[in-house]
């Protein structure tokens, strides 16, 4: 099921609301010391091609943005800890300027959830009075917030509050908590007071336990409001300067990573340029998450971000975290106009900074006349979700002829086309005729100038229209052999759902497809191409051939286990294990794509509890906390 959206016209914050909120928090937090760590969970088992390099060499934008928002609001004792770089970090032992953490903010995708649980478990190993306030956020929290409470069935291992939206929601929460904390309290104590007072119900985008009792239901406050003007978001240069430097230790170092060394560890800078996509693919949660909106930054702002990151931190390669960059022509145009004439250190921006992003083939084709301008803005690579160029799996306006013509145009202007393909049950490895087979498509794309290749398997994604169907069709695996499936395996690199009798073949198909693209022969071919079409291809070939060694071992093992079986299947996805109560205020009510109004898994309770009245408790429902997928969690595991 997709996330619901707010009523039309009520999706956004008003102009200036977010900067004003930060200004108020700055005033309220003056003189306070609130040590906080934003920990980005990362499961190293997912470090495979095609993300072998980017997952470690591109500091994630979400965790940086959250830390930047705290810092910019006066909570300057904030550090960003990436588990890719600091795998042994233990929140329970972390100190900033000699003080223990008062807030632990865990950011996680679904595939890194097992690592997120451990971070939370470690923080919960402290005596209750010493525990930081534990907040969950990021894609795992957005779609399955209940999973971060009562982890592994232990009600003591739990986040205190989960943010199901963006940093604006967090800062609204921080403002309320500061009001309750005062000068001498802690953020966790403030959270308990604010919750008891009903003061959190008016912040859309939160999930928390109604009280501290073991059978407490979860409360959801509805769907977030989105910051409309992305230029209002704090500058990314702030978040970069809060990064913990890579090390194997458990504690935090006294100083963050030095500015002069940031580019060495994160040579690619991810930049949030736009959010949203006009398409509506049934296996993708992005349009619903964005409440069908499209937001973008101004050209001036992007120029300023690149300039400062280049000049102050030495980062010269950028990746736009766009869902569909060419979604809106006028916003792309204004960006190119500004970037084409911008200078960094007296030189044209395009000489000092290069960038890549994601866009659909349909919109890139529609705006193909802008490609020369795009190149002048420094755009050097475009990742396109072609999925299946015959449009059999999904029709997003892609076609064989269009792809061929577009790739030629892109290569001509010096922008590397980077196709992203999706292998599925209906697609054979090879077809005798036409282009339906996976290998036929990979070979064709290489010939027409693809500089890189991503092949993932179609994997059920939470928050999508097709998610539940996959369970109903009994395609999603529950266990293979005696081992239950874990969340890290839903990364598109493992076959975790299939109705075929031999899913191990699908697993090998992907590996064969990669080997057919990334190999010494194609590497040599790339080198022999005319200079203007070599682009990223050579770099990608080398990096991916290295990454393929680990990926091949991983794939062969998983394929073997699928072959051995037996495979058991699941009839339904994980559900909230505690009852969920929707207390969103009338103005914050939202609607589902099917016309219903509640948050998935929740039931409305009418008017939200107001301050001073937190006793709106539902009839008791038998409680089992944690999900099957969580397993037993221990802080030391
Ligand atoms: C850029 C991107 C990538 C990049 C970089 C990822 C990175 N680590 O930086 C690359 C290309 C490497 C990548 C890879 C993958 N990705 Co990706 N990626 C994105 C994308 C397009 C943008 C993410 C981003 O940086 N946004 C900009 C920042 C500023 O926003 P944000 O991350 O949403 O963070 C905000 C909020 O979430 C919140 N927040 C975040 N953390 C926290 C923590 C706390 C405590 C709080 C309060 C708030 C909070 O505040 C932030 C600021 O407003 C998103 C889609 C999207 N539009 O969100 C998918 C997305 C994150 N990716 C996804 C997936 C599945 C993958 C892959 C598994 C590939 C695949 N099969 O699709 C791999 C995994 C690689 C790995 N091993 O980790 C999914 C995750 C789904 C889920 N339920 O977990 C997403 C959501 C796309 C989708 N299908 O919906 N990805
Ligand atoms: S085009 Fe891409 S981002 Fe847009 S809905 Fe489809 S899969 Fe999602």
Residue 59 pLDDT exceeds 60? yes
d(CA 159, CA 635): 14
Nearest-atom index, ligand 2, CA of 280:
5
Q: Which tokens is 281 given? A: 């693919």
Query: Which residue matches tokens 């802080």?
Result: 635
DSSP 111: G
| pLDDT mean over 406-423 | 97
| Alpha carbons 293 and 278: distance in angstroms, whole number | 8
Q: 221 CB under 6 A from ligand 2?
A: no
- 617: pLDDT strictly greater than 60: no
What confidence score (pLDDT) does residue 331 get?
Answer: 97
Span 91-130, pLDDT tens digits: 999 999 999 999 999 999 999 999 999 999 999 999 999 9
Ligand 1 centroid, distance to 61 Cα (angstroms) = 8
Per residue in 190-207, pLDDT (tens digit) is 999 999 999 999 999 999
Which pLDDT belongs to residue 396?
87
In short, whether 281's Cβ falls inside 6 Å of ligand 1 is no
Q: How far is the CA of 109 from the centre of ligand 1 (A)?
A: 6
Q: Is residue 618's pLDDT more than 60? A: no
Is the distance from CB of 114 to CB of 487 less than 8 angstroms?
yes
Query: 279 and 292 in contact (C-beta within 8 Å)?
Result: no
| 506 Cβ neighbours under 8 A, 6+ residues apart | 423, 425, 457, 495, 498, 500
Give distance in angstroms: CA of 363 to centre of ligand 2: 11
DSSP type of residue 283? T
Task: Report the candidate in 196, 144, 140, 135 with the shortest Cα–Cα distance to residue 171.
Answer: 135
Residue written as tokens 């409305």?
604
User: What is the sign, positive or negative, of the torsion defined by CA atoms of 306, 310, 313, 314?
Assistant: positive
Q: Which residue has the tokens 């970037």?
A: 339
Mode of pairing for the β-strands spanning 567-569 and 477-480: antiparallel
In angstroms, rounded to a whole number, what is the distance separating the alpha carbons of residues 339 and 345?
A: 14
H helices of 356-462, where? Answer: 361-366, 371-376, 400-413, 438-447
- pLDDT, average across residues 514-521: 97
Residues shown for the chain: 637
In tens, the pLDDT along 251-268 reads: 999 999 999 999 999 999
- Beta carbons of 158 and 123 less than 8 angstroms apart: no
Task: Decide whether any atom of ligand 1 lies within 6 Å of the 420 Cβ.
Answer: no
Q: Which residues pair with 135 in a beta bridge?
A: 105, 161
Measured from the CB, is residue 44 less than 6 Å from ligand 1?
Answer: no
364 C-beta closer than 6 A to ligand 1:
no
pLDDT tier at 531, thresholds 50, 70, 90: low
Residues forming a β-bridge with 105: 38, 135
Q: Quick check: CB of 239 below 6 Å from ligand 1?
A: no
Residue 384 in 3-state DSSP? strand
Report whether 91 contacts 122 (CB < 8 A). Answer: yes
Minimum CA distance residue for ligand 1 atom 51: 62
Q: Evaluate whether 275 touches 290 at the Cβ level (below 8 Å).
A: yes
Query: What are 379's two structure tokens?
Result: 């755009």
C-alpha distances in angstroms, 9 versus 148, 165, 205? 31, 18, 17
Q: Which ligand is nearest to the CA of 174?
A: 1
Is the pLDDT score of 226 beyond 60? Answer: yes
pLDDT confidence bin for 363, thresholds 50/70/90: very high
Strands 602-604 and 580-582: parallel
Residue keyed to tokens 């996509």: 277
State percent of the chain over pLDDT 90. Answer: 86
Give the bridge partners for 38, in sequence order: 80, 105
| Distance (Å, whole) CA 214 – CA 60 | 35
Cα of 291 to ligand 2 centre, how many Å? 14
Q: What tokens were used for 47? A: 């470090």
Taking a C-beta distance cutoff of 8 angstroms, is the pair 581, 621 a contact?
no
161, β-bridge pairs: 135, 208
Q: Apex CA 104: angle with CA 154 and CA 116, to 5°? A: 50
**Per-residue tokens: 348:** 């044209």
Is 0.85 surpassed by the pTM of this model?
yes
Atom of ligand 2 nearest to the CA of 387: 7
Sketch out the chain's domains with CATH numbers: 33-228+584-604 (3.40.50)
- How do beta strands 133-137 and 477-480 pair? unpaired
Residue located via tokens 């409360």: 219
Three-class DSSP labels, 45-93: HHCCCCCCCHHHHCCCHHHHHHHHHHHHCCCCCEEEEECCCCCCCCHHH
As a three-state string, the secondary structure of 134-178 is EEEECHHHHHCHHHHCCHHHCCCCCCCEEECCCHHHHHHHHHHHH
What residues contact 576, with CB distance under 8 A and at least 6 apart? 146, 218, 601, 602
pLDDT digits (tens, 9 = 90+) for 270-317: 999 999 999 999 999 999 999 999 999 999 999 999 999 999 999 999
Q: Is the pLDDT of residue 229 over 50?
A: yes
Structure confidence at residue 394 as a pLDDT band (50, 70, 90): confident
Coil/strand/helix, residue 268? strand
Give Cβ neighbours of residue 349 (< 8 Å, ≥ 6 apart).
303, 306, 307, 339, 340, 342, 343, 377, 378
Backbone torsions φ then ψ of 464, nearest 5 degrees:
-115, 165
Pull the structure tokens for residue 561. 């286990």
- 13 in Cβ contact with 225 (< 8 Å): yes
Q: What pLDDT, on a 0 to 100 scale, did the predictor assign at position 637?
A: 33
Among protein residues, the one with the nearest Cα to ligand 2's atom 1 is 279
Mean of all residue pLDDT scores within the chain: 92
């Amino acid at each position: 099921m997709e996330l619901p959206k707010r009523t039309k016209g009520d999706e956004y914050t008003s102009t200036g609301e977010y900067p004003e909120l930060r200004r108020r928090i700055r005033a309220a937090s003056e003189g306070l010391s609130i040590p906080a760590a934003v920990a980005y969970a990362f499961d190293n088992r997912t470090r495979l091609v095609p993300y072998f390099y980017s997952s470690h060499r591109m500091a994630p934008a979400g965790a940086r943005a959250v830390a930047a928002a705290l810092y910019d609001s006066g909570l300057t004792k904030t550090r960003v800890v990436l588990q890719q770089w600091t795998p042994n970090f233990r929140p329970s032992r972390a100190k900033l300027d000699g003080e223990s953490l008062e807030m632990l903010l865990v950011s996680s995708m679904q595939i890194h959830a097992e690592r997120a649980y451990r971070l939370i478990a470690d923080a919960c190993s402290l005596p209750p009075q010493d525990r930081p306030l534990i907040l969950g956020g990021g894609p795992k929290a957005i779609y399955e917030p209940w999973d971060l409470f009562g982890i592994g069935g232990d009600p003591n291992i739990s986040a205190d509050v989960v943010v199901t939206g963006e940093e604006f929601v967090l800062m609204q929460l921080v403002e309320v908590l500061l009001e309750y904390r005062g000068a001498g309290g802690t953020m966790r104590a403030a959270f308990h007071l604010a919750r008891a007072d009903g003061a959190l119900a008016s912040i859309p985008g939160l999930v928390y336990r109604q009280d501290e009792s073991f059978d407490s239901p979860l409360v959801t406050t509805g769907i977030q409001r989105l910051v409309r003007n992305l230029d209002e978001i704090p500058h990314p240069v702030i978040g970069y300067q809060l990064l913990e430097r890579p090390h194997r230790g458990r504690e935090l170092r006294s100083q963050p990573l030095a500015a002069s060394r940031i580019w060495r560890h994160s040579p690619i800078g991810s930049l949030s340029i736009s959010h949203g996509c006009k398409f509506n693919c049934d296996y993708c949660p992005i349009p619903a998450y964005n409440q069908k909106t499209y937001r973008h930054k101004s050209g001036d702002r992007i120029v300023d971000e690149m300039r400062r990151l280049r000049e102050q931190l030495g980062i010269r390669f950028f990746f736009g975290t766009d869902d569909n960059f060419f979604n809106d022509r006028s916003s792309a145009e204004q960006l190119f106009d500004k970037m084409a004439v911008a200078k960094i250190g007296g030189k044209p921006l395009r000489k000092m900074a290069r960038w890549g992003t994601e866009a659909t083939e349909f919109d890139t084709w529609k705006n193909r006349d802008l490609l020369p301008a795009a190149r002048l803005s420094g755009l050097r690579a475009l990742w396109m979700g072609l999925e299946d160029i015959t449009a059999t799996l999904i029709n997003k306006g892609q076609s064989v002829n269009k792809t061929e013509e577009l790739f030629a145009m892109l290569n001509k202007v010096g922008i590397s086309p980077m196709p992203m393909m999706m292998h599925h049950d209906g697609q054979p490895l090879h077809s005798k005729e036409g282009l339906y087979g996976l290998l036929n498509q990979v070979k064709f794309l290489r010939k027409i100038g693809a500089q890189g290749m991503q092949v993932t398997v179609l994997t059920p994604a939470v928050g999508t229209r097709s998610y539940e169907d996959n369970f109903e069709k009994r395609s999603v695996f529950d266990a293979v052999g005696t081992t239950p499936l874990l969340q890290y395996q839903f990364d598109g690199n493992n076959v975790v759902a299939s109705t075929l009798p031999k899913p191990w073949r699908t697993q090998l198909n992907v590996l064969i497809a990669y080997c057919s693209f990334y190999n010494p022969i194609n590497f040599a071919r790339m080198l022999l191409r005319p200079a203007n079409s070599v682009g990223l291809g050579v770099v990608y070939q080398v990096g991916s051939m290295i990454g393929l060694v680990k990926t091949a071992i991983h794939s062969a093992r998983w394929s073997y286990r699928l072959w051995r079986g037996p495979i058991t299947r699941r009839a339904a996805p994980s559900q909230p294990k505690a009852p969920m109560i929707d207390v969103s205020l009338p103005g914050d009510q939202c609607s589902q794509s099917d016309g219903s109004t509640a948050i998935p898994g929740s039931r409305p309770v009418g008017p939200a509890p107001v301050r001073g009245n937190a006793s709106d408790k539902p009839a008791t429902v038998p409680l089992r906390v944690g999900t099957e997928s969580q397993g037993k969690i221990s802080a030391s595991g």
